[in-house]
Every structure is written in C-alpha cells, then in structure tokens.
Amino acid sequence: MEELFNLLSANLIGWLIAAAVVFSVIKQSIKFVPQNRAFVIERFGKFNRTLKAGLNFLVPFMDKVAYDRTLKEQAVDVPSQSAITKDNIGLRVDGVLYLKVIDPHKASYGVENYVFAVTQLAQTTMRSEIGKLSLDKTFEERDTLNTAIVSAINEAAQPWGVQVLRYEIKDIEPPKSVLEAMERQMRAERDKRATILESEGERQSAINVAEGEKQSKVLTAEGIRAEQILLAEGEAQAIETVANAKAVALRTIGEIAATPDGQKAVQLDLATLAIAAKDNIAKQSTIVLTDGQSTGAANTVAEAVAIVTAMNNSDGFSSPTQ
C-alpha cells in the first residue's frame, strides 16, 4: 500500500508540473494589447512584427516584447532657452510640443529616445526661426512662427516615426532694458492715440454744433417765411372779404337808390352829411367866412337837396332805362 501511495503521489506531482508548464507556455503565447498602444516583438533579438490592440499570439521562448509604445498624443514641455532675433535682441523662449507616434518600429529603432530627440530638434529649430525675425515680429507672428517650427520638425523627424501635431510658444521674455523701452513706446503710443481721439472728438463736436446752428437758422427762417406767408394770405383774404362786403353794400345801396323811396333816403343822408361837414369846419377853423343867408340850417338843407337834385339829373347817377 505504501508503494502504491508513493507511486500515485509521484504521478500527481508529475501531472501538476506538466500542467504548470503548459499554463506558463499558454500564458507566454497569449498577449493582450491595450487600446492606443503597440508592442514591438523581437524573435531571437531581431525585429519580427508589431502587435496592435486586441488579442495576439506569440511563439513561446522565441518571441518577446522588446518595446511598448503609446499611440496617444503626448504633450512635451520644451525647456526655456536663449535665442537672438534678427535685430540682435536676446530672448528667453519656452514652449510646449504635441507629438504622436505613427510608426512604432521607427520610434523604437530609428532613435534612442524620440522624446528627447524631438525636444532638442524643437529647441534648435526655434532658435533658427526666431533668428529670421525682428523683435516686434516675434510678438506679432507667433502663429506663423509655430507653424514654421512644426513644419521643420516634421521634416527632420520622419525617420523616427514621430509626427509633431503642433507647437505652442508659452512665453517670450526679452531683457529688462528692452521691456522698459517697449513700455515707454507703448505709453507714447497710448498718449498719441489719446491726443488724436481728443482732437477728433473736439472736431466732431464743433461740426455737430455748426450743423445744429445751421439747422436752427434754417428752421427759424422757414418759420418766419411760413409766418409771413400766412400773414400775407390772411391780409389778402381780409382785403378780399372787405372788398366783397363793400361791393355787396354798394350794389344793395345802388339797387335801393334806384327807387323813389331810395332817392329820398339818399337825399336825407346827403343833407345830414352836409350839415355834419359844416359843423366840423366850424369847429376846426378859427375863422369862417360865410354870407348872411347861408348860415341857417334851412339854407344848409336846401343846398344839400340841390346837390342831390343835380346828381340825379346827371348821366353818371341816372339809372339805366329798362
């Protein structure tokens, strides 16, 4: 029984060892690659293939994962460095670089450390591009400068399997003396613009005042003209109304005067007017020369009747024949 037990124990240990070996081989032959990553496989120390995301199989004891490369976009800080502009002004410039591995094989075997290589290339390219611009242009044309740096880096980094997506300059720091000079220049420009704006405001104000006075005078003149027109029209209408009234009165008087009763009324009215006229002459004159017979009221009435009779006998006062 003891020998049988020892035999069964030896067989069980052998099966366990065999299972462990099989499990180890299976584990080494199956490889799960995460999303946005790539495994560079070497077989006997030589590049074999690149594994993409998902389930992959390896040859045990022959294949191994030599490099694990991320395919995500990476942000790399570019250290601050000195650069000289076209007009010989020293600057301190730093930036940030955004890159992505597009060929894991080249990124693994084309360069020792692609991040360090691209960073150094970005610094040298930045110094070269800034040397082509003056100080003012470096501040005004940041976008153009960033595009030029990206283009130069991508052209040089093609053998490394890396693509630079964009480059951003974070800060440009000129010397203190240049900063003070720029501040004085900016202050002078602000004062100049303020003076120009003030003069433009005064000019516009004067124009507005002149336009207002002009419009006021025009409106006043138009008001006076309209008033004069209305007064003239009112006077004309008044004159026309008076004339029409007189014409109607004269026509009525003429029609009535053509009758016998009207003649008597005219004679009475003329006699009354003649008496009133003599009274006025007597009141206004200091000396009145008259004959003795014409001073009485009867004589005055007789004279008035004689005048009326003479008017009736004249052709101008006679009524037309029917």
Q: Are 37 and 53 in contact (CB under 8 A)?
A: yes
**What is the predicted pLDDT for the residue at 309?**
64
Q: Which residues of the chain have pLDDT under 50?
A: 289, 292, 316, 319-322
Domain segments of the chain: what residues? 2-70, 74-174, 260-322
Helix extents (H) in the chain: 2-29, 104-109, 114-130, 135-140, 142-156, 176-257, 260-284, 297-313
Q: What is the pLDDT of residue 142?
A: 84
DSSP track, 72-112: S-EEEEEEEEEEE-TTS-EEEEEEEEEEEES-HHHHHHT-S
Residue 77 CA to residue 280 CA, distance in Å, equals 125
Model pLDDT, residue 273: 72
What letter does residue 160 receive in the DSSP assignment? Answer: G
Contact 126, 147 (CB under 8 A): no
Fold of 74-174: Tetrahydropterin Synthase; Chain A (3.30.479)
Enter the tokens of residue 68.
Answer: 């694990």
> For position 249, what pLDDT does the model report?
77
Q: What is the pLDDT of residue 321?
A: 46
Whole-number pLDDT of residue 162: 92
Structure tokens at 82: 């000195």
